[in-house]
């Protein structure tokens, strides 16, 4: 397997957007090359940060994904259609100026008066927090491509290990629980980095754009729940906007392992959600923690996706090797595609993950690839 070089425009954006349980870039590129003919369309109903769709668009294929979590969606918008460097830098400076003006407003006079939980004051300096609050209010990331690109870039660096982001020491892929993080920072004595966020981000933007912009084929990721958006996709196929899909390439959430809303709570806050993770955790617990609801989710998404596929399509699903997720996925796929041949490849974990930074030493059971091909 080989990933596109980071020195090329394609490679520079391919790994954009830290996201829990994302496809490795080389894997996504290889599956697309091997299982979809050039010019064909790829569908990903659980698109995450858009890895599969980007791999399609970068390799003479087309792609359409759907993603529920706005963090993954904003990343995919930026990588599939980055706004020009000039417009992103201009907008960054505008946000910087507005943040400094906010600074002079009385209610922002001291960090202690920001209406935010203590976590934020340990995580960021007052200057960075003012910048983030301004970006949160001003950037119209749902409707404006420049704002989406800048927001996605800020999200990348919102939290990371010391020296690599805007925050006090954190894991990059996953937001920590506030009490845990505050206690850890206090115990370790680490402080939020004292940086100028505009200058700091400007350097990263220049680095991101320095090889040039990637040349990509038509591709998009829709924001929303796949169980509610497939009618729109079916209409697009009927009207010639998309073709029926030659490859369904996806990775569903793993049962009882990850909660994408909770794990991204700090990035979701920047996109406008609550400054506390608990409320969002409650909302999505049902589907990933109840066996019946999880089965229903896979059943709904894959049966609706089946109607969008070309008769010779390949279905390629990477999922958790633990028994419930594995057996449910295999059963659902087998029942929906009885005339395709199913191959299951074990993919044991081979390397240390980012979770070690915050002390997660748990054994990982590995993943499996379920591949269904025409007989």
| Residue 21 vs 139, nearer CB to ligand SAM | 21
* Bridge partners of residue 220, in order along the sequence: 64
Give the per-residue SS3 of 224-283. CCHHHHHHHHHHHHHCCCCCCEEEEEECCCCCCCCCHHHHCHHHHHHCCCCCCCHHHHHH
Classify 54 as helix, strand or coil: helix
156 in contact with ligand SAM (CB under 6 A): no
C-alpha distance from residue 243 to each of 62, 239, 299 (Å): 9, 9, 23
CB 195, min distance to ligand SAM, A: 28
Residue among 147 and 261 whose Cβ is closer to ligand SAM: 261
User: Binding residue for ligand SAM (CB under 6 A) from 23, 54, 108, 265?
Assistant: 23
DSSP readout, 141-209?
TTT-HHHHHHHHHHHHHSS-STTSSSSSS--SSSPPPHHHHHHHHHHHT-------HHHHHHHHHHHHH
Choice between 66 and 156, CB closer to ligand SAM:
66
22 binds ligand SAM (CB under 6 A): yes
Smallest separation, CB 84 to ligand SAM (Å): 25
In this chain, which of 9, 48, 193, 277 binds ligand SAM, going by CB under 6 A? 48
**Residue 316 near ligand SAM by CB under 6 A:** no
Residue 219's H or E segment, with its range, is strand 219-223
Q: Which is nearer to ligand SAM, 167 or 251 (CB)?
A: 251
- For the bound state, the minimum distance from the C-beta of residue 331 to ligand SAM, rounded and expressed in Å, comes to 19
* 21 touching ligand SAM, by CB under 6 A: yes
Task: In whole angstroms, give the CA distance from residue 116 to residue 201.
Answer: 23
Q: Residue 290 interacts with ligand SAM (CB under 6 A)?
A: no
Comparison of 186 and 231: residue with beta carbon closer to ligand SAM: 231
Identified binder of ligand SAM from the candidate list 4, 29, 32, 51, rule CB under 6 A: 51
Q: Per CB under 6 A, which of residues 250..279 are in contact with ligand SAM? A: 251-253, 260
- For the record, the structure tokens of 278 come out as 């608990």
Q: With binding defined as CB under 6 A, does residue 72 bind ligand SAM?
A: yes
Among the candidate windows 60-68, 79-87, 130-138, 139-147, which touches ligand SAM by CB under 6 A?
A: 60-68
Q: Are strands 245-250 and 41-44 parallel, antiparallel or unpaired?
A: parallel
Contact status, residue 267 vs residue 155, Cβ threshold 8 Å: yes
Handedness of CA 21, 132, 205, 167 (dihedral sign): negative
Interface with ligand SAM (CB under 6 A): 19, 21-23, 46, 48-49, 51, 66-69, 72, 225-227, 251-253, 260
């Amino acid at each position: 397997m080989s990933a596109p070089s980071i020195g090329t425009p394609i490679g520079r954006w391919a790994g954009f957007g830290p996201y829990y349980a994302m496809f490795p870039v080389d894997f996504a590129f290889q599956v697309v090359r091997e299982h979809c003919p050039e010019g064909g369309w790829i569908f990903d109903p659980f698109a995450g940060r858009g890895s599969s769709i980007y791999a399609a668009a970068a390799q003479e294929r087309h792609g359409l994904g759907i993603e529920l979590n706005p963090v993954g969606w904003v990343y995919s918008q930026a990588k599939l259609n980055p706004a020009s460097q000039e417009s992103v830098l201009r907008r960054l400076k505008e946000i910087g100026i507005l943040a400094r003006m906010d600074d002079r407003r009385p209610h922002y006079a001291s960090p202690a008066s920001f209406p935010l939980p203590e976590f934020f004051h340990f995580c960021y300096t007052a200057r960075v927090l003012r910048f983030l609050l301004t970006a949160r209010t001003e950037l119209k990331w749902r409707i404006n491509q420049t704002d989406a690109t800048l927001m996605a870039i800020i999200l990348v660096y919102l939290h990371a290990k010391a020296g690599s982001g805007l925050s006090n020491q954190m894991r990059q892929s996953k937001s920590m629980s506030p009490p845990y993080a505050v206690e850890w920072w206090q115990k370790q004595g680490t402080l939020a980095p004292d940086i100028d966020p505009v200058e700091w981000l400007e350097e990263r933007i220049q680095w991101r754009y320095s090889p040039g912009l990637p040349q990509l084929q038509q591709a998009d990721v829709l924001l929303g729940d796949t169980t509610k958006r497939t009618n729109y996709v079916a209409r697009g196929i009927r009207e010639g906007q998309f073709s029926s899909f030659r490859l369904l390439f996806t990775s569903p959430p793993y049962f009882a392992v990850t909660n994408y809303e909770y794990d991204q709570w700090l990035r979701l806050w920047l996109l406008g959600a609550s400054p506390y993770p608990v409320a969002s955790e409650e909302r999505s617990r049902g589907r990933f923690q109840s066996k019946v609801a999880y089965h229903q989710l896979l059943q709904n998404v894959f049966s609706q996706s089946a109607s969008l596929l070309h008769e010779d399509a390949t279905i390629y699903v990477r999922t958790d090797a633990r028994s419930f997720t594995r057996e449910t996925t295999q059963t659902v796929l087998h029942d929906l595609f009885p005339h395709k041949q199913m191959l299951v490849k074990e993919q044991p974990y081979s390397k240390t993950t980012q979770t070690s930074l915050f002390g997660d030493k748990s054994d990982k059971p590995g993943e499996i690839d379920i591949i269904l091909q025409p007989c």
